[in-house]
Amino acid sequence: MPELPEVEVVRAGLAPAVTGATVLGVEVFEQRSLRRHDPVTGLFEALVTGRVLAGPVRRGKFLWIPLLNDDRSPTGQAIVAHLGMSGQILLREPGAVENGLLRIRLHIETAASPASPARELWVNFVDQRIFGSMAVDTLIPTSDGGPGGLGTAEPLIPTQVAHIARDALDPAFDDARFAHALGRKNTGIKRALLDQTLISGIGNIYADEALWAAKMHYAQPANTLSRARVRTLLAEIRLVLEKALAEGGTSFDAQYVNVNGASGYFSHSLNVYGQQGKPCPRCGTLIVREQFMNRSSHLCPHCQRLRLPRAPSV
């Protein structure tokens, strides 16, 4: 599943093309890709066609594009996109043949500028497994009064995303609040990192990589971590995410691409995820894979030892 770096690569790639663009028309080829759209608010096509697009915004793994009126005043709504397991948002020239399973297409006219005249583009939502979706949703105030996410200064967020916590790269992320929340979590630290209501954007890949970097076992109880250990973990999470962003995200196959269809290459920099049977880059012990929440965890059994608190003596 695309995680924060992969979705951020898409957001950054879309921004120059869609910001200020006008939606000329919409084609929906698969209604199941609109299953999170509430038809009571109106037809997806009707709500989007003719609107001007603001700059795309991301929080965690969610992406949204606020909708504006012709005079650039806000409509209070946004197109919300979630890539699911295999979703892609691709910019195409009109008439281009789409090799993937096209589900939704937006016909847009880009905003004209002194350096570039307006031109028509297609924004294609491609999704093999149809776990991803698009919807028009209402924007509401953020609970903490901060910007909704990366890409906006407005303290607004779609209702479908309001329960999602900020991610570690968000300037408004509260380290102390996160540490306090971990102290109340009687669960393994990896399970806590995958809880999108606690910290967003982290999935299996980057959880394994950050925990390896911080020398933590995935089952280490979250409430046993000292504040210093939490600071170390957050620092490693940020380093892993920033490095993945610099390398265009992680691509294991053709499903993980940017808006131009190019793959990221962070997969070549993975230390533990998918590296079972190979030596740990730090100590040489063989990396192992263990079952975890109907998926897998990858770790170095030497560097990432489970450290349980000692039972009180009697």
Q: What is the pLDDT of residue 311?
A: 58
Q: What is the pLDDT of residue 125?
A: 96
Q: For residue 198, what are the CA distances in angstroms to 146, 178, 192, 214, 226?
A: 17, 7, 7, 19, 18
Is-catalytic flag, 154?
no
Give 14: exposed, middle or buried? Use CB within 10 Å, 0-12, 13-18, 19+: buried
Tokens 């965890």 map to which residue? 297
Domains contained in the chain, CATH given: 4-158 (3.20.190.10), 175-299 (1.10.8.50)
Catalytic residue selected from 2, 56, 158, 221? 2
DSSP letter, residue 185: -
Is-catalytic flag, 61?
yes
Q: Please, what's the b/e burial string for 122-140 (b: 16 or more CB within 10 A of its CB; e: otherwise)? A: bbbbbbbebebbbbbbebe
Catalytic residue selected from 58, 61, 105, 166? 61
Q: What is the pLDDT of residue 120?
A: 97
Q: What is the pLDDT of residue 110?
A: 97
Is-catalytic flag, 2?
yes
Catalytic residue selected from 3, 6, 8, 209? 3
Q: For residue 254, what are the CA distances in angstroms to 6, 10, 82?
A: 13, 15, 18
The residues of the chain scoring below 50 in pLDDT are 251-256, 263-265
Q: What is the pLDDT of residue 260?
A: 58
Q: What is the pLDDT of residues 147-160, one digit of tens each?
A: 999 999 999 999 99
Is-catalytic flag, 3?
yes
Q: From 263, 165, 250, select the one nearest 206 (Cα to Cα).
A: 250
Q: What is the pLDDT of residue 308?
A: 82
Catalytic residue selected from 184, 295, 310, 312? 295
CB of 15 within 8 A of CB of 55? yes
Q: What is the pLDDT of residue 297?
A: 95
